[in-house]
Amino acid sequence: MDKKYGNASFRKNYNRARLEKNYERVKKGIAKLLDKEINDDFTKEIKTSRISRLEKKKDYLEKLQKELETYLDEKFGITVAVQTTQSGDIPDDLFSIVDKSIEITGKNHENVLADCGFASYETLEKMETKREENFYVPDKLFDSSQKEPEDGAKINAEQFKKKDDGEYYCPDDKKMVKKQINHSEDGHYTIVYECKDCENCKLKKRCTTGKARTITIDSREPYREKMRKKLKSDKGREIYMKRQWMVEPGHGDDQKNKGWKQHLLRGKAKASLEFLLVRIGSNFGKIIRYKGKEALAM
């Protein structure tokens, strides 16, 4: 039988205490070998071979330790806070549910992942300037902004790019000109940019039916750009992908396995209680399912 380390599950073979004990034993073994003098019975080749074997086991145990910490930290997707509204996602609701989660768990959250329904210029600004958590929240146009436009498709505002000089350019690389600035009561403003050379542009039919194409840029656009940059980074992609197996499966389990596709009770109070009971039931199922595994990891 092939006894490669990778064939064994760390959950079945290691708990935290055993892992740490073995790791310390291997470290001491390496240190002892390094101090041991070479002689006729303990040649340089034997010493090198034994140290190499222990170094491989040490690397393996370090890998298990990282996996074990991840196993402990994720908490199996347990729901700790819920909120029911009578409308779709409202961006500001994100902060209230996060605050509720902090209150219930008694702990601050390092990372907060949410879908695009909670991204607006207002919330993106608050995430950056008012909150301590690291937020990973794509805006509604994030996915489309990552794709190459199809041939012949209508040109959208996402294809107008800001260059190093701080100015915006159209897809035909023509510089946009500031047409007007609109100020709002909350201190923010929008800038309307206009292209002055549309009449003879080869892209005009795909870009605008008017005399000149305009785009409107919000003064809080830098917050959206910063969030997009974070989501596109290797770390950002790795963190945000956790939603696929921590959050989304819960919705699928409700609909496909439990048959709960919509609220059965009327009125916000009753519907809220119904959703709360569904989530409590799901939590109990996960706790029972993972209780043994969690005990192994202690």
pLDDT > 50? residue 56 = yes
- pLDDT band of 211, cuts 50, 70, 90: very high
Which of 121, 117, 115 has its CA nearest to residue 136?
115
H or E element: which one contains 236?
A: helix 234-240
Rounded distance between C-alpha atoms, residue 250 and residue 78, angstroms: 10
Is the pTM higher than 0.75?
no
Mean pLDDT of the 100-124 span = 92
Q: Tokens 């209230």 appear where? A: 96
Rounded distance between C-alpha atoms, residue 25 and residue 258, angstroms: 48
Rounded distance between C-alpha atoms, residue 203 and residue 171, angstroms: 8
Find the largest Cα–Cα distance for the chain: 92
Burial of 128 (0-12, 13-18, 19+ CB in 10 A): middle
pLDDT > 60? residue 298 = no
Q: Are 247 and 77 in contact, with CB atoms under 8 Å apart?
A: yes
- CA angle 231/194/220 to nearest 5° reads 35
- pLDDT band of 75, cuts 50, 70, 90: low
Phi, psi of 55 (to 5 degrees): -65, -40
Count CB neighbours of 195 within 10 A.
Answer: 25
| Count, residues in the chain | 298
Distance from the first to the final alpha carbon of the chain? 30
Phi, psi of 171 (to 5 degrees): -60, -20
pLDDT > 70? residue 78 = yes
Which residues have a Cβ under 8 Å from the Cβ of 162 and sit 6 or more positions away? 168, 169
Which of 240, 239, 225 has its CA nearest to residue 124?
225
Q: For 264-285, how does the pLDDT look when each residue is reduced to its tens digit (9 = 90+)?
A: 888 989 989 998 898 888 888 8
pLDDT reported for residue 9 = 44
| Lookup: tokens for 91 | 């961006």
